[in-house]
Every structure is written in C-alpha cells, then in structure tokens.
Amino acid sequence: MSIEVSPSPISNTLVDKDAYLSGLLDKVVASKSEGWLQDVRQRAADWVRQSRLPTTRDEEWRFADLSPLREVQFNVETFLPNITPFSLPEANKNCLVFVNGVYAPELSAVSGLPDGVVVSNLANLPGGYDERVRQYLAQASGDREVFTALNTAGMTDAAVVWVGKNVVVETPISLVFVAVGEGRICLPRCLVVAECGSQVTLVEEYTNRRGAENAEEEGERVYFTNAVTEIWVEENAEVSHTRVECDGAEAFHVGKTAVMQARYSRYSCNAVSLGGRFSRHNLEIFQTGEQTETILNGLTMIKGKQLADTHSVIALNYPHGVSRQLHKCIVGDRAHGVFNGKVFVPKPAQLTDAAQLNRNLLLSSKARVDTKPQLEITADNVKCAHGATVSQLEDDEIFYMQSRGIDANDARNLLINAFAAEIINQIPIPSLRETLTETVSRF
C-alpha cells in the first residue's frame, strides 16, 4: 500500500509559492557540490520552491502552529565555538559529533570497530563506499515532505553508519548533533545501513550543550534544527535506535526518521523529546518484506509553553508483520503535547499483529494534549488494537504516600518517575537511562 501521492513534474519556471520558505532555501543552498550529490540537492530544491510551509489548515499540522518560526530570520553562517568534549561512556570510542551541521573531528572518536563497519562523515568515506551510499542516501520514502526536501537541498555532509553483512557491533554508536549560537539553522543528516544479518545499537542526540559552564547561556538561544535520518534494515538485520532531542528552551526542532524494513528484520526505536519551544518528530516505518518486527517507544516531557508533536506512520505492506507502539507524554504548566499515530494494514498484509497505545499525564489544569491513534485496515485476517488515555495525578495516591511519611512533593515525583520508567527502562544504554531518570526527577 502506498501512502504517498506521486507529484507532477516540476518546472523551474514556476514562481516560488512561499517567500519565507524560499528565503530559507536560498540560504541553505548557497554552497555547491559536484556530481551526484548536487543532482540530488537540485531536485530537492526544485520541489521546495513549489511547496509551502504547513499551516494549521493542513490536517497533519492542525495542532502545530508554525507562525512563530516565520518571525525569525535564520542564518547558516559557519560558527565553530570551543566546545567541551562529551560522549556516552559506553560509546566514547564510537562517536561522531557535528556542530552547527559541520563535522567536528576533534570531538569525534572512532576506533575498535569490527571489519565491515564504517562510521564516518560523508566527506571522509573509505574508498568504494561512495557508490554504495549513493544507492541509499535520499532514497527513502517520504522524501517529498517539505522539511525533508529542505534538508536534502541544503545537505553538504552527513553522518554515515554502515554495518556489513552478518557483522555484530557489540558497542553502541553515538551520533551527536550540537546547535550553538543565535539564529542558526542546522540541517543534520544521517544515513544508517544495516546489511543482511547484521546487528547494531545506535544513539542519536540533538542538543545545544557546550559544557556545564555554558549551559545556562545557550539555553535561551533561538535556532532551528531540521534533521533527517534514513535507516535501512536489510533482511534479517537488527537495529536498536535511541533518539534524544533536548534542544534549548527557545529552539525550533523538526525531525524525520524514515525506516525501511526488509523481510525478517527487527527495528526498535526509543524516542525521547525534552527540549525546544517547538519540536516535531515524524517517525515513518515502511515494511518492504514479510515477517518484520517493529517496536516503538516514545516519551515526551514538556512544560512552560512548549509544544511537542509526534507523528508516526507504520506501513505494514506484507504478511506476518508485528508492531508494538507505546508513546507517553508528561505535560506541565501551559505546554501542549500532540500525538498522531497511524498504522496502515492493506489487504496483502494478512496475519499482521499490531498494537498502539498513547498514554498522557497532565500535571496542571492548563496543560493540553491532543491525541489521535489511527488504524486503517483492509486485510481481513489480522490482530490489531489501538487506544489512548489522558489522566492527572490522583489525589488519593498522593494522600496514600503522605500517610506513609512521604511529603507531597516527593510523592508527586515518585508517581511521575513511575510513569516515565516504563519507557526509560527500554533504553539499552545504562548511562543514558540514569541521565534521563535524573531529568525526570527534576521535572
């Protein structure tokens, strides 16, 4: 089942539809590259010029108002400040760091990987991999979405993780994308290819941190991160993916994760959204063969006036597919959480087993959640379920803990921690689990 509409041919003589979007495009395509990459960028740029930024009149964006984004004039000036090195302890030898979209070799470290594994930026790929990457980069479904096309049009480099056939990578691979400075627009790009029979654990982090001494200064900066990650899970391969978005309080973040799953493959994603004035994550899973397994866990924690929007698509086009999705939102103050999950089960996808659940916890009377789990089923021999819940902390539960000697604030924190723990405990990186648990405790 296809969920995209084939576009008509684009003429370069047509007038740009959106002046603000065209202005962004003119900034990000200022640099030129040679060969096939330039052709890919040009096709994407042509598409962007005939597109427009979504508005609340568009069904997929009706709860996500982008008008504050239009009020900011962004730039892509190269700016590489001094940054304190940081990485997960489990991945301190397998880490790529990009600052404002530019590869930072002095902060990166890649060593001790098995033969057949490449972790590199696009510009420094080993010999022979350029042609391989060409077959996958910007080839995933959903490439005509406007923010995805904008990222492709401005792509000058990318993080590339390539795991060869039947190779098992024992240690996690960390990709860190740092945005620093006022008014920056960053276009991080990531390509992951897990060949037949391979296994890899990947951690993808978006942040503005420069080190403890700069955290408060950078927290109020306005910048825009428009990220795209393409993951190709080939036959009988397994990818465990953790994505953490913890941008600054005034940042805008739009992210796309497009996953192509071949037969017998296994993909799991733990997506955590913490920061940003506005954040949006589009998670799209496309089944390209039978008997795949997909596990999606999500956690959103927002407060103040933050808006966090998660849109997911699971397109199960072949028989015997299994998918499980659990997304949780913790919303405080006047924040606004959005979840829209779609599961497509067309007639060829017989004997599919799919379940989807969105659970939301509101911590104030002004907090808001809009949730819309969806199933579209035309197959007649499937097992599918979906649901959503919205609740607040129960006074009876807090009173019970107080009667056992726990003060009201600690009781509240315990209940919030328990709600989030179901997602955090699925993350396979101990140090990251500990960090996120501390973050929840300070929420």
Phi (first) and psi of residue 269, to 5 degrees? -135, 130
Closest alpha carbon to 258 in 335, 201, 313: 313
Q: Within 13 Å, how many C-alpha atoms sit on residue 317's CB side?
A: 14
pLDDT over 60 at 345, yes or no: yes
What's the average model confidence in pLDDT over 238-254? 96
Using one digit for the tens of pLDDT, what is the confidence trace for 181-232? 888 899 999 999 999 999 999 999 999 875 434 444 555 689 999 999 999 9
Say which residue, 2 or 16, is predicted with more confidence. 16
Q: Give the whole-angstrom CA distance, residue 280 versus residue 257.
A: 11
pLDDT band at 35; cut points 50, 70, 90? confident
Beta 109-110 vs 94-99: how paired, if at all? antiparallel
Q: Indicate the pLDDT class of residue 33, thresholds 50, 70 and 90.
A: low
Q: Is it the case that residue 41 has pLDDT exceeding 80?
A: yes
Closest CA to 377 of 353, 411, 410: 353
pLDDT reported for residue 34: 66
Confidence band of 76 (pLDDT split at 50, 70, 90): confident
Is a pLDDT exceeding 90 seen at residue 253?
yes
Determine which of 13-22, 156-165, 307-316, 393-402 has the lowest per-residue pLDDT on average. 13-22
Q: What is the pLDDT of residues 352-380, one digit of tens each?
A: 999 999 999 999 999 999 999 999 999 99
Three-class SS of the chain: CCCCCCCCCCCCCCCCCCHHHHHHHHHHCCCCCCCHHHHHHHHHHHHHHCCCCCCCCCHHHCCCCCHHHHCCCCECCCCCCCCCCCCCHHHCCEEEEEECCEECHHHCEECCCCCCEEEEEHHHCCCCHHHHHHCCCCCCCCCCCHHHHHHHHCCCCCEEEEECCCCECCCCEEEEEECCCCCEEECCEEEEEECCCCEEEEEEEEECCCCHHHHHHHHCCCCEEEEEEEEEECCCCEEEEEEEEECCCCCEEEEEEEEEECCCCEEEEEEEECCCCEEEEEEEEEECCCCCEEEEEEEEEECCCCEEEEEEEEECCCCCCEEEEEEEEEECCCCEEEEEEEEEECCCCCCCEEEEEEEEEECCCCCEEEEEEEEEECCCCCEEEEEEEEEECCHHHHHHHHHCCCCHHHHHHHHHHHHHHHHHCCCCCHHHHHHHHHHHHCC
Q: Give the separation between CA 320 and CA 292, rounded to whole angstroms.
A: 7
pLDDT of residue 8: 37
pLDDT (mean) for 248-262: 96
Per-range mean pLDDT, top range of 32-41, 78-87, 314-323, 401-410 = 314-323
* pLDDT computed for residue 357 by the predictor: 97
Q: What is the pLDDT of residue 86?
A: 64
Q: Would you state the pLDDT for residue 177? A: 94
Are 66 and 55 contacting, i.e. CB atoms less than 8 angstroms apart? yes
Residue 16 has pLDDT above 80, yes or no: no
Q: Considering only CA atoms, which of 190, 356, 192, 170 is closest in space to residue 267?
A: 192
| Burial class (CB within 10 angstroms; exposed 0-12, middle 13-18, buried 19+) of 2 | exposed
Over residues 244-271, the mean pLDDT reads: 96
* pLDDT cut 70: percent of the chain above it: 91
Cβ neighbours of residue 105 closer than 8 Å, sequence gap 6 or more: none
Distance CA 294, CA 405 (A): 43
Give the number of other Cβ atoms within 10 Å of residue 61's Cβ. 18
Averaged confidence pLDDT in the chain: 90
- The stretch 133-139 carries a mean pLDDT of 94
pLDDT of the residue at 77: 66
Q: Is the pLDDT of residue 1 over 50?
A: no
Confidence of residue 394 (pLDDT cuts 50, 70, 90): confident
pTM to 2 decimals?
A: 0.92
Q: Can you give the pLDDT at residue 88?
A: 85
Average of per-residue pLDDT across 97-103: 90
Question: Where is average pLDDT lowest: 110-114, 250-254, 280-284, 431-435?
Answer: 110-114
Closest CA to 239 of 201, 205, 271: 201
- Collect all residues with Cβ–Cβ distance below 8 Å to 384 and sequence separation of at least 6: 343, 345, 352, 353, 354, 355, 375, 377
pLDDT of residue 101: 86
Could you give the CA distance from residue 360 to residue 339 in angstroms, rounded to a whole number? 10
Question: pLDDT digits over 259-295, tens only?
Answer: 999 999 999 999 999 989 999 999 999 999 999 999 9
Q: Under a CB-based contact definition with an 8 Å cutoff, are residues 289 and 318 in contact?
A: yes
| Position 12 pLDDT exceeds 60 | no
Phi, psi dihedral angles at 54 (to 5 degrees): -65, 155
Position 395 pLDDT exceeds 60? yes
Q: Which residue reads 């080839």 in tokens?
A: 139
Q: Cα–chain-centroid distance for residue 244? A: 8
Q: What is the CA radius of gyration of the chain?
A: 21
- The larger pLDDT score, comparing residue 268 to residue 85, is at 268
